[in-house]
Amino acid sequence: MTHARIVLWLSLTLRSTRSLCRAHFVEWQPPKPPNPGAMENGTGPCREERPPTAQETTVTEGAAKIVFPSSNEVFYNPVQEFNRDLTCAVITEFARIQLGTKGIQIKVPGEKDLQKVVVDLSEQEEEKVDWKDGENLAPGDKPQIAVVGEICEEGLRVLEGLAASGLRSIRFALEVPGLRSVVANDASARAVDLMRHNVQLNGVAHLVQPNQADARMLMYQHQKVSERFDVIDLDPYGSPAPFLDAAVQAVSEGGLLCVTCTDMAVLAGNSGETCYSKYGAMALKSRACHEMALRIVLHSLDLRANCYQRFVVPLLSISADFYVRVFVRVFTGQAKVKASASKQALVFQCVGCGALHLQRLGKAAGASGGRVKFSAACGPPVSPECEHCGQRHQLGGPLWAEPIHNLDFVGRVLEAVSTNPERFHTSERIRGVLSVITEELPDVPLYYTLDQLSSTIHCNTPSLLQLRSALLHAGFRVSLSHACKSAVKTDAPSTALWDIMRCWEKTCPVKRERLSETSPAFRILSVEPRLQANFTIREDANPSSRQRGLKRFQANPEANWGPRPRARPGAKAASEVLERRRLLQNKRKDPPEDRAQRAARLKTFPCKRFKEGTCQRGEQCCYSHSPLPGASADATPTDCPETPPTRTPLDLGPAAGPGVD
């Protein structure tokens, strides 16, 4: 009985303990979220604000303050602050245009009152008349003003498909006026949990909605016209190709699509077959590879949009640092889609002199009655061999052959940034890059470089002003390119360009006897120029952005800057990864040896001349003079007189056969 009572008492005790634990768990269970709309989006409950721990880092960028783990579990790259600043500026001007059609004005912190309220002078006159006729309107009928941090009921719906820490979405909510909602989506549960904390930390829970889902599925679920997003921002790690098909369907009519590509090795021509599988175009290794990458991305976007009777209109295309960034608007129209073939082109590039020729895929010609007739283009524009150097051509593309910028829109963004430079930390660079873009020739795809032209014919390199002046004196247009510091973008044909270089070579002659008769330099210089170049410096040869000394190109922002490692669960801190990279750099190369180590290594090899009896160096010989056994298996092939002379002393394999001495 005593044993039975003990067992009964223990069972009752354990039962009461379980009940107490359950009650304690229920008592401290997190409360339900107060915002039911967040649950509809699948965001889950928002957690209470917590101070950053020792394993977390706090970063302030723009108006946002975020906390992210020091370990590389959630991706963050401070070098792309320029990317985020530019995106905020572009979306602000896009919101100004879109909401202006609805009679809503936006107010940006730092801008002067009544600045940039209307688009052009005609609309200014119409607005003056409207205000004069509506002086006695009720207060509720006055134009609505949208400010940052507040919900605009008729504002833009923004989606950031791959939000990571949520920094970009939080900056949208704090810096861009006229927003209705911002969906910050990521497939990582750790990233979404971090986003919820950062949203609460910045007090933008009423605008930013964290969401955990696959970005493609989320965009496919918003294909209905009433559910589409006005702005979609895609900044993935690597290629955005898997998301483009869903993105062109989920953006609203005339909406803004912002895409970043960081797989520049693929887009720059290092792997043409991979570029074709991702973007539907062959990339070439060229000095103009950065602009070619932009045009390949635009071609890929337009090609995917055409499948759904939609087409893209580029607003701004940027090549910066280690990535490219495009901003396009997406429209619907069957008639406009028919013109897409005439906007694409193939590229013929000479492998010898690098001459570029474009071949359009389609042809659009005017017909009677104001109609446009589309047909296949005729070509090719080149012969089997290059007319300048006799080399063959490589075929690349198709790529976008139309302008990659909307200069009116770029001018609006540039004006807004210039009048409010305190808004962004990288305002100086944004001004410089956009200024160069406004000076680019919009109807001239691709470009040449100074070092490319001079190295082809092995001559001294002319200055940028000298070459630009020669092209201007010859009656051609010329401009810089934001994608390359030494770019020469011109509408001059390759024949005129090489004539100018032939004239320049006469001022610093190249020794013909040092050139091979089959080399591109010999064949180009063997032809007399038909165009007499004038290298006198012209005043208009120096562009305005260069005269003002604007910051056009990126200086190294920090040590070991560039693409960061991919975020992984349980990963080490980014600083530890970079330090390990530095330590393991060149690990496969032999370490440098000093003189003593080299002498000891050479002493392991027998001296051939000592064996033949002709070595006169004695003990000063760097090779070994030690006597070798008569028929030892350790003898090397270099000691065998019957060994063929093609064998080197480095071949230390065992000798075999009866001929060993």
Range of lowest pLDDT (454-463, 481-490, 647-656): 647-656
pLDDT above 70 for 638: no
pLDDT in tens, 137-160: 344 556 788 888 899 889 999 999
DSSP 474-495: TT--EEEETTEEEEEEE-S-HH
User: Do 199 and 327 sit in the same domain of this protein?
Assistant: yes
Residue 627 pLDDT class (50, 70, 90 cuts): confident
363 bridge partner residues: 375
User: Do 414 and 522 sit in the same domain of this protein?
Assistant: no
C-alpha–C-alpha distance, residues 588 and 601, integer Å: 20
Q: What is the pLDDT of residue 577?
A: 60
pLDDT above 60 for 476: yes
Contact by Cβ (8 Å): 76, 168: no
User: Of all residues in the chain, what percent carry a pLDDT higher than 90?
Assistant: 43
Query: Residue 516 is part of a domain; what is its CATH number?
Result: 3.30.56.70
Q: What is the pLDDT of residue 25?
A: 33
Residue 649 pLDDT class (50, 70, 90 cuts): very low
Does 620 map to a domain?
A: no
- Please tell me which of 149-153, 367-371, 550-554 the model is most confident about, judged by mean pLDDT: 149-153
Does 506 map to a domain?
A: yes
User: Of all residues in the chain, what percent carry a pLDDT higher than 70?
Assistant: 75
Does 405 map to a domain?
A: yes
* Residue range of the domain that includes 451: 445-548
pLDDT above 80 for 56: no
User: Do 480 and 332 sit in the same domain of this protein?
Assistant: no
pLDDT in tens, 518-542: 899 999 999 898 988 899 999 889 9
Specify the residue for token string 């691709």.
446
pLDDT above 80 for 108: yes
DSSP 196-232: HHHHHHHT-TTTEEEEES-HHHHHHTT-SGGG-EEEE
- What is the model's pTM? 0.74
Which pair of structure tokens corresponds to residue 110? Answer: 């730092």
Q: What is the pLDDT of residue 302?
A: 95
pLDDT above 90 for 130: no
pLDDT above 70 for 126: no
pLDDT above 60 for 51: no
Beta strands in 94-134 (DSSP E): 104-107
Residue 488 pLDDT class (50, 70, 90 cuts): very high
Specify the residue for token string 């895609």.
234
User: Do 172 and 89 sit in the same domain of this protein?
Assistant: yes
Does 22 map to a domain?
A: no
Contact by Cβ (8 Å): 95, 178: yes
Residue 415 φ/ψ, nearest 5 degrees:
-65, -40
Supply the angle between the helices 427-439 and 407-419 in degrees, to the nearest 10: 150
User: Do 411 and 474 sit in the same domain of this protein?
Assistant: no
Amino acid (one-letter) located at 654 = P
Q: What is the pLDDT of residue 120?
A: 41
Does 387 map to a domain?
A: no
Residue 409 pLDDT class (50, 70, 90 cuts): very high
Q: What is the pLDDT of residue 653?
A: 42
Query: Residue 306 is part of a domain; what is its CATH number?
Result: 3.40.50.150
User: Do 466 and 404 sit in the same domain of this protein?
Assistant: no
User: Do 491 and 376 sit in the same domain of this protein?
Assistant: no
Residue 4 pLDDT class (50, 70, 90 cuts): low
User: Do 269 and 187 sit in the same domain of this protein?
Assistant: yes
Split into its structural domains, the chain has a count of 2
Does 582 map to a domain?
A: no
Q: What is the pLDDT of residue 364?
A: 86
Picking from 513, 548, 583, the residue at the C-terminal end of a domain is: 548
Q: How are beta strands 229-234 and 156-160 bridged, if at all?
A: parallel
Does 166 map to a domain?
A: yes
Supply the angle between the helices 81-100 and 407-419 in degrees, to the nearest 10: 110
User: Do 243 and 322 sit in the same domain of this protein?
Assistant: yes
Does 15 map to a domain?
A: no
User: Do 163 and 289 sit in the same domain of this protein?
Assistant: yes
| Closest to 357 (Cα-Cα) out of 497, 504, 499 | 497
Q: Tell me what the pLDDT averaged over the chain comes to.
A: 79
User: Do 262 and 373 sit in the same domain of this protein?
Assistant: yes
Contact by Cβ (8 Å): 159, 250: yes
What is the rounded average pLDDT of the residues 451-471? 91
Residue 416 pLDDT class (50, 70, 90 cuts): very high
DSSP 513-564: GGS-TTSHHHHHHTSPPSS----PPPGGGS-HHHHTT---S----STT-SPP
pLDDT above 70 for 70: no
Residue 93: C-alpha distances to residues 97, 138, 410 (Å): 6, 29, 10
User: Do 238 and 334 sit in the same domain of this protein?
Assistant: yes
Which carries the bigger pLDDT value, residue 578 or residue 425?
425
C-alpha–C-alpha distance, residues 370 and 366, integer Å: 7
